[in-house]
Structure 1
Amino acid sequence: MLDWNDLRYFLAVAETGSTLAAGKKLKVSQTTAARRIAALEEALGLTLFERRQAGYALTPAGEALVERARAVEASAAHFTDAAAAAARDISGTVRLTTSDIYAVTLMAPLLRDLHDAHPAIRIELVTSDYPLDLAAGEAEVALRASVMPQGGGLVVRRIGPDPWTLYCSRDYAARHVRPKTAEDLRSHPIIGGGGEKIWPVYRAWLERHGLEGAVVMEHGSATGLLAAVRAGAGMAVLPSFVADREPELVQVLPPMKHDDLALWLITHERLRRTPRVRAVLDFLGDRLAQLAKAAPVDGSQSPWLEPDGRPRMSLVAPQS
């Protein structure tokens, strides 16, 4: 069977006239050069060189093939150049998916800066609370909050912890007496909803603590929860990675212990080395990691926090 790499030896011997000189040119031994020529002749069923005392001379069959071998060599060089250019080409569309609350908070400034850094990359942002199938090509990069992303072939990078807990606005906290017990908390308006994936879990938490009766409105998305809390309409559960970095929000309750939710940057194994995808992953990963390492907004002046930042109350589950 023909080994295309043997054409390099064929051309080197044809040009230098000996296996010794060809071996030096290709940085191999004379024995290796001679063996590869013999293998090529056997594969082709042709004698390409006459072995003479003075060296190797092309036979008529070899003369007839040498230009075609040069054409193959040139094509291989063009192929290599094209592949190298493709590897350097950081351009094209990258389909990025995340939940709406991360899209309008964390991602908005990051995508602006990503465009400045890589103007030839076009981001197609898909907001969805349900994970798109990266293996099926529904998206190329995902930013998700979960315990641990599951799926064959996924390549994941953990950004940082992202438990959800109860928040209100700083203005709301300044205008209301802080709750000390679960009973006190029931007198505060709760913003419910968050979408069909978030709301069932959120509602079950409210029910466990007897707070379902305090819900005064429901929003159909997590961004709706965030907007209502920012406006001072009441309290709602929000992801801490987002809310702790909002200067106008106050954490009402500390996150539950052993909450393993985290923020993950994800792609698929077959995409991780695609230049445009790699550029997006590296940029977002580094910037999000910087956010994770940075201290959250200083809440020491919050009306509901002690000077050292510890919350003054924790939710006590109602007695049955």
Structure 2
Amino acid sequence: MFDWNDIRVFLTVARAGSTLGAARALDMNQTTVSRRIQALERCLDLTLFSRDTRGFHLTEEGEMLLGASEGMENAAADLGAEADRLRRALGGKIRITAAEDILNYSISEIVAEYRAKAPATTFEYVAQDRFLDIEKGEADVAFRAADHLDDATLLCRRVADISWAVYCSRDYAQKHSAPSQADELLNHPVAAYEGKFAMSRASLWFMSQIAGRQVVMTSNTVVNMRAIVLSGVGLGLLPCFSSEPVPELVRCVVVPSENSPHIWMLTTSKAQRSRHLRSFTDFAAERFKTLRCRFELQE
């Protein structure tokens, strides 16, 4: 029977195109990589690679086994993630993922309050804008800012709406006079979003109010956009909950509420079997009923 580690080496050589490249990727001796490929070929009684001075190239048989090998790789990753999730569940640990702003302005407070009543439960934060795959166990619960969610396999609760607005720095406002209406946005340089934020309803509304020639800078994260706006380069779109407390920022024009995204609390039916996670998500949903006013601009 072949060894899974040999399949892993096979996939790495196929992707790198050489045993040297695979050895570097695997942090393994090149001779060991070659020996493992030879052992796999003997075990399968197939030639998986042709060799020449340019490197290793999959044979027809190697190409035919590539898909099945990648399936094994995915299954091994899923098994490892599920084992990790089970260890967290058994140990009373909950892994939360969310954008850094959302973690800082609400989740950390909710977790502190929850731990006061359930001190045996521990938490791990993964703060990033990229969405982790909670179905694969990369996190137990996610708090995501999104216009809508399409994944019907997840357990979703809409816990808040997020007001957004166009901001500038106080220094910029003093030098150039901050706009106060949407039709005044055309008179200023702006920083725009790229990546997933560019496709949000709030960003699409903002871009519909300006001309392309006004864009002097782009960013793919909210944290960086805030830094750009604070630098005085021009106008930028930011969530109100994390921008209103910053005295150096001046709110110019509020995005219409129908273009505002929502905060969703997501988990899976499998993760919800953990009494620790079930208790926490119920607690968080209840606390958001009070905290949601932080995310929605109060005039």
Give the TM-score category using the shorter length: 0.5 to 0.7
CA contact 1:246–1:297 (8 Å) conserved in 2: no
Q: Which residue of 1 aligns with 2:278?
A: 278
For 2:198, the aligned partner's letter is W
Alignment of 1:261 onto 2:261: yes
Change (3 A) 1:149 1:188: same
Report the Cα offset of residue 297 of structure 1: 6.9
Report the Cα offset of residue 292 of structure 1: 1.2
d(CA) in 2 for partners of 1:141 and 1:96?
5
Report the Cα offset of residue 129 of structure 1: 3.0
TM-score w.r.t. the length of structure 1 is: 0.52
Report the Cα offset of residue 98 of structure 1: 1.4
Report the Cα offset of residue 131 of structure 1: 2.9
d(CA) in 2 for partners of 1:157 and 1:198?
21
d(CA) in 2 for partners of 1:135 and 1:168?
39
TM-score w.r.t. the length of structure 2 is: 0.55
Change (3 A) 1:295 1:155: closer
CA contact 1:98–1:144 (8 Å) conserved in 2: yes
Q: Note the alpha carbon deviations across 1:42-90, whole angstroms, 9 max, x for none.
A: xxxxxxxxxxxxxxxxxxxxxxxxxxxxxxxxxxxxxxxxxxxxxxx99
Q: Note the alpha carbon deviations across 1:105-160, whole angstroms, 9 max, x for none.
A: 33344444444444433322223434333322222101012233332442222212
Report the Cα offset of residue 277 of structure 1: 0.8
Q: Which residue of 2 aligns with 1:197?
A: 196
Report the Cα offset of residue 224 of structure 1: 1.1
CA contact 1:91–1:276 (8 Å) conserved in 2: no
Q: Note the alpha carbon deviations across 1:162-190, whole angstroms, 9 max, x for none.
A: 25332235565456423256674344342
What value does the CA root-mean-square deviation take over the aligned residues?
3.6
Alignment of 1:132 onto 2:137: no
Change (3 A) 1:297 1:135: closer
Q: How does 1:137-286 map to 2 (within 5 A)?
A: 137-169=137-169, 172-173=172-173, 176-179=176-179, 184-193=184-193, 196-199=195-198, 205=205, 207-230=207-230, 233-243=233-243, 249-256=249-256, 258-259=258-259, 261-286=261-286
CA contact 1:161–1:262 (8 Å) conserved in 2: yes
SS at match of 1:237: strand
Equivalent pairs counted in the alignment come to 210
Change (3 A) 1:173 1:114: farther
Greater helix proportion: 2
CA contact 2:190–2:216 (8 Å) conserved in 1: yes
d(CA) in 2 for partners of 1:158 and 1:96?
16
Q: Which residue of 1 aligns with 2:288?
A: 288
CA contact 2:129–2:221 (8 Å) conserved in 1: no
Q: Note the alpha carbon deviations across 1:20-49, whole angstroms, 9 max, x for none.
A: xxxxxxxxxxxxxxxxxxxxxxxxxxxxxx
Q: How does 1:17-166 map to 2 (within 5 A)?
A: 92-166=92-166
